[in-house]
C-alpha cells in the first residue's frame, strides 16, 4: 500500500470516527502531506523505524514540542 493512497485515507477515516475536529483533521493531513513529500510515495512496508525517527529528528529542529507531538497523532 502506498503512503499517499489508501493509508492516508484510512488514517483520516479512523480519526474522523474517533471524533477529531475538522481543524485537527486538517492539521493531520498537512503533517501526512509533509511526510509523503519527505519520503516520496513509497510503500508503507518499506519504511523502517529508523527512517521515521530521523524524519522526526529533522522536524524537531524547527517545531515546538507541542507541534511535533501533533505530527505523531
Structural domain for 24, as ranges = 5-70
Please tell me the predicted confidence (pLDDT) of residue 44.
83
Residue 31: is its pLDDT beyond 80? yes
pLDDT digits over 33-48, tens only?
A: 888 888 888 888 888 8
Mean pLDDT across the stretch 1-13?
80
Place of cell 522536524: 59
Contact between residue 42 and residue 8 where contact means Cβ atoms under 8 Å apart: no
Q: pTM of the entire structure?
A: 0.69
Contact between residue 73 and residue 31 where contact means Cβ atoms under 8 Å apart: yes
Burial of 36 (0-12, 13-18, 19+ CB in 10 A): middle
Number of domains in the chain: 1
Amino acid at each position: 500500500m502506498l503512503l499517499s493512497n489508501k493509508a492516508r485515507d484510512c488514517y483520516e477515516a479512523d480519526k474522523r470516527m474517533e471524533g477529531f475536529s475538522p481543524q485537527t483533521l486538517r492539521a493531520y493531513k498537512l503533517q501526512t502531506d509533509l511526510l509523503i513529500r519527505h519520503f516520496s510515495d513509497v510503500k508503507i512496508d518499506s519504511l523502517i523505524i529508523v527512517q521515521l525517527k530521523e524524519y522526526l529528528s529533522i522536524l524537531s529542529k524547527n517545531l515546538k514540542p507541542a507541534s511535533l507531538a501533533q505530527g505523531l497523532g
